[in-house]
Amino acid sequence: MKAYSREFLEQLYRTLYTIRVFETECIKLYRQGLIIGYFHPYLGEEAVATGACAALREDDYIVSTHRGHGHCIARGGQLNKMVAEVLGRETGYCKGRGGSMHIADIATGNIGANGIVGGGLPIGVGVAMGVHVRGSDQVTIIFFSDGACNNGVFAESLNLAAIWNLPVVFMLENNQYAVSSPVEEMSRVPDLYKRGEGYGVEAHQVDGNDVLAVYEKTCEAVDTCRLGKGPVLLEAKTYRHSGHHVNDPGTYMPKERLEYYRARDPIKIARNNLIEHARCTDQDIEAIEQHINQQMEKAIEFGKNSAQPSVEAFLEEIETN
Ligand SMILES: Cc1ncc(C[n+]2csc(CCOP(=O)(O)OP(=O)(O)O)c2C)c(N)n1
Ligand SMILES: [Mg+2]
């Protein structure tokens, strides 16, 4: 392993753990009936957002997905406003209008999540086109998953980004399912990064449960893009720890495979890095975790104590003529 500072490894751990706690606590809120609509947990996939976003500059961009809370947190999103948004409150990122699947945070360059599978791909290519026109060297990471690769928009987006050399990292979070459809049944070539070649796009596969592996590969891809030699396709292989959304028991997920990936939990891997390479003790790590648990408790209080938008406020935003 390359040498990393304790500070950096702790920062990665903080982000990973924050995502884990956010998702775990929101699932509880969902079960209490406080979150309306769908909620797609990112549990098990935390290392992808964390490693990828750590490779970005503050003025870079990301485009997220319906499973997007982790991306938002990894980019520096605020827990208060996130919890308030998923609870549908006026103080949320979108004043409670968007909910779990529509969080955007322009302050952190998060162009937004959206509920259309593959919908972020052309949006991200458009962002990169804007960057190109402005003559800037900002990079855009577009997050999407295996299911989105089988939408036509994947082909269009990769091809346009390729012929215009756009500074885009296509971050394919291959969690191996589109709802209950396993990737091996949805594609004859389940190593999806191989599709890059057909578009003349540099492509690599990386262990999506190892935050440092994701970070290192993304750093290389980002460098390539900044030099005007993009785009790059990265396939981060990972696995969900649960079903597609909170109400999906995931009974189609083979036990052995789930156990294999749970043993390779991204949080465990990052925790080991702290102990083995940064001389952290269990107590040091518990102190980090406790601080985050408290922040999350405060965010839940903030969300619960925030007002729901009034019907009048909704109607003011709708043109009636
Ligand atoms: C264009 C479109 N088709 C279908 C759906 C219904 N749908 C919601 S999530 C999903 C699966 C997406 O799978 P994947 O892209 O692998 O993302 P993951 O859920 O694994 O993160 C589908 C088919 C949708 N939201 N949008
Ligand atoms: Mg998927």
CB 62 within 8 A of CB 109: yes
pTM over 0.85: yes
pLDDT tier for residue 105 given thresholds of 50, 70 and 90: very high
Phi-psi region of 296 (alpha: psi -120 to 50; beta: other; left: phi over 0): alpha
3-state SS, residue 182: strand
Residue 321: pLDDT over 70: no
Sheet holding 168-174, edge to edge: 61-63, 140-145, 168-174, 232-237, 202-207
Q: Mind listing the pLDDT tens digit for each residue in 271-287?
A: 999 999 999 999 999 99
Q: Is residue 310 included in any domain, yes or no?
A: no
Peptide bond into 231 cis (omega under 30): yes
Q: Does a structural domain hold residue 89?
A: yes
Ligand nearest to C-alpha 39: 1
> In this structure, is residue 127 part of a structural domain?
yes
List residues bridging with 177 in a β-sheet: 182
pLDDT at position 319: 73
Distance 172 CA to ligand 1 centre (A): 13
Cα–Cα distance, 51 to 150 (Å, whole number): 25
Q: Within a domain: residue 318?
A: no
Structure confidence at residue 34 (pLDDT): 97
pLDDT at 316 (0 to 100): 82
Nearest to 202 by CA among 177, 166, 156: 166
Asked if residue 321 belongs to a domain, the reply is no
Predicted confidence band at 312 (pLDDT cuts at 50, 70, 90)?
Answer: confident
Q: What is the pLDDT of residues 160-204, one digit of tens each?
A: 999 999 999 999 999 999 999 999 999 999 999 999 999 999 999
pLDDT at residue 264, as a whole number: 97
d(CA 266, CA 49): 11
Q: Is the CB of 45 under 6 A from ligand 1?
A: no
| Residue nearest atom 15 in ligand 1 by C-alpha distance | 147
User: Which atom from ligand 1 is nearest to the alpha carbon of 151?
Assistant: 1
Whether residue 64 contacts residue 112, with contact meaning beta carbons closer than 8 Å, is answered with yes
| C-alpha 115 to ligand 1 mean position (Å) | 8
Q: What percent of the chain has pLDDT over 70?
A: 99
Of 176, 171, 174, the closest CA to residue 233 belongs to 171
Give CA–CA dist 222/294, Å, rounded.
Answer: 34
Measured in Å, residue 147 CA sits from the centre of ligand 1 at 6
Spatial distance between the Cα atoms of 1 and 23, rounded to a whole number of angstroms: 29
Give the whole-number percent of the chain exceeding pLDDT 90: 95
Which ligand 1 atom is at minimum distance from the Cα of 178?
A: 13
In a domain, 308, yes or no: no
By most ligand atoms within 8 Å of CB, the mutation choice from 114, 121, 176, 179 for ligand 1 is 179
| Residue 149 alpha carbon, nearest atom of ligand 1 | 15
Cβ 150 vs Cβ 192: under 8 Å: no
Q: Is residue 59 part of a domain?
A: yes
Question: How many structural domains are present in the chain?
Answer: 1
Q: What one-character-per-residue DSSP string does 279-306 give?
A: ---HHHHHHHHHHHHHHHHHHHHHHHHS
The ligand minimizing its distance to the Cα of 151 is 1
Q: Which residues contact 13 (CB under 8 A, 6 or more apart)?
A: 267, 270, 271, 273, 274, 285, 288
Distance CA 43, CA 313 (A): 35
Task: Residue 80: give its domain's CATH number.
Answer: 3.40.50.970
Element (H, E) at 214: helix 211-226
Q: Is the Cβ atom of 117 under 6 angstroms away from ligand 1?
A: yes
* Domain containing residue 15: 6-302
Distance (angstroms) between ligand 2 centre and the Cα of 132 equals 30
pLDDT of residue 27: 98
Classify residue 315: in a domain, yes or no. no
Whether the predicted pLDDT of 314 surpasses 90? no
